[in-house]
Structure 1
């Protein structure tokens, strides 16, 4: 449907800079997800693309046409918000077709567009109902259908599932994934704070932080090869463990000494001879922690809390410094009798990350 290019885009409110030098190319048919901590500017960036917020610096192009000063209605964009914003006195059919009616389309054109969208979203049986007769998930589908009938170049979603309960969120997330499969040429940009939505829906995730893009790439690339401690801890739940250490033996496989409750551990990350003795943070995801009785281990500590969830058991270990976040191990299945016990944990060398100065040593 459309290609988007953001070049050095920034946003400023008076003297307060919110976003700076955002460079991003979005290809036709991509589903891009913006994530980041609260206040990072992800919804602001989405609204700038929609034309609801003015771009302070840089340019936004859609299909090679500069959009900075183009009114929202003329950008070929449709937006789905957190709130459904449906007209309570109108049927589903009239809600979905209202924008086309305002645009002066004929009744036949409106009916055809609404019918196509209703089939895509499986709303055929609800077209004559009022919004109050629908579930939350069905109302959100109507809001999406209202966007589809306009046949826009770009779809923008601003946390569309945040008002739904957990079960409906899962069902509607699946429906959005199916919608994207049914509309492979549609370009979509999606803002969420939910990592599961981001990981399961996105072709690429864009992590925003510190006024810019911390990292952008396919979901598993960000999970497996984070470029910074911030991205490593932001992507994944529970967050990646960080344990202070130092390079003991540099080389193609680096040996790291972990003074705080640990021994030594190998990482499949090459380091240079001059890195010997260099302070590093060892990153290990909770699901990659493995119990061990060996002399080489990443962490040894007392299990403070056990979360028995059935399919997994999460162990929270004491740290020698209480201001540190606890070390967490996520073990598959059920493990009993571990609370209060001391245990050693390690990880396979290809699951160990090394960071220095907040940046990954794997990408220097």
Structure 2
């Protein structure tokens, strides 16, 4: 007696349950299920010839609830053009479904009453569409946030690789060049090989650290973290640099650096690493290198100066260096200022100021 209303309700409910349990990440089945439920509903509304009693009304409520859920999912997850077509079909099916009861009441419902009821069902469909649009925008915003976070992680990883590896690899190259000049002096050559081995080990450790950070970022993008840099890390960079170069190295390092924000200490560390790496690359004949990290009540200032050395004119400058550009971005990210250029003496100065 009620095969069509029951069939429409069963199809809509089956599509909704399948969409919730078996198709949660599949776009096409959700759209196809919603379209099928809407077509069956429209056929039932057009073909059904009564009676319009409570049993039909109960089937109609089940069907309408399932179709509203399907409508929300279609608008949220299906591609825009397909979603518009399927959603329009579902809205029409929901809006016309009260006719299945109202036309076959005894006595028949008034035309105004049918219009009011159909309008109410249309408003329910509009609300479900609005909820789907809202959820779709939330999903898009989340995807943009994830993509931006991943891009930021890739840029940060590239900067860290530059800081960690370029510093050590440059030391290896210079030690190897010096070893060629001292090949006839066994003790000096042995010392150079020791420096090469130590720098290579540190480079491998840096690569392992970068890969570990990358793995942690992939496994847990929100939880990946590394040990905060400290005063001792900055001093260690200068110490290793001093051991690998013949120039005199003066260090003036503020003792209260660890009291600063972690991002400030990280920026100080990156500035020192990049500046000393550039001294190795471009001023190997420098006679004096000064590293000063000072603090006032409002700022932390880092100044790295090399004097008495210029890059050899015959040596072609290596391409692809992005250290100073990346350093500028790092300083600006913490609202600091950056300056680099030649000083009054034959040499080069890098200077940053970071607010505390």
Per the shorter chain, which TM-score range?
Answer: under 0.3
Structure (1 or 2) with the greater strand fraction: 1
**Higher gyration radius (CA):** 2
Higher RCO (C-alpha 8 Å, min separation 6):
1
TM-score (norm 1): 0.26
TM-score (norm 2): 0.26
Structure (1 or 2) with the greater helix fraction: 2
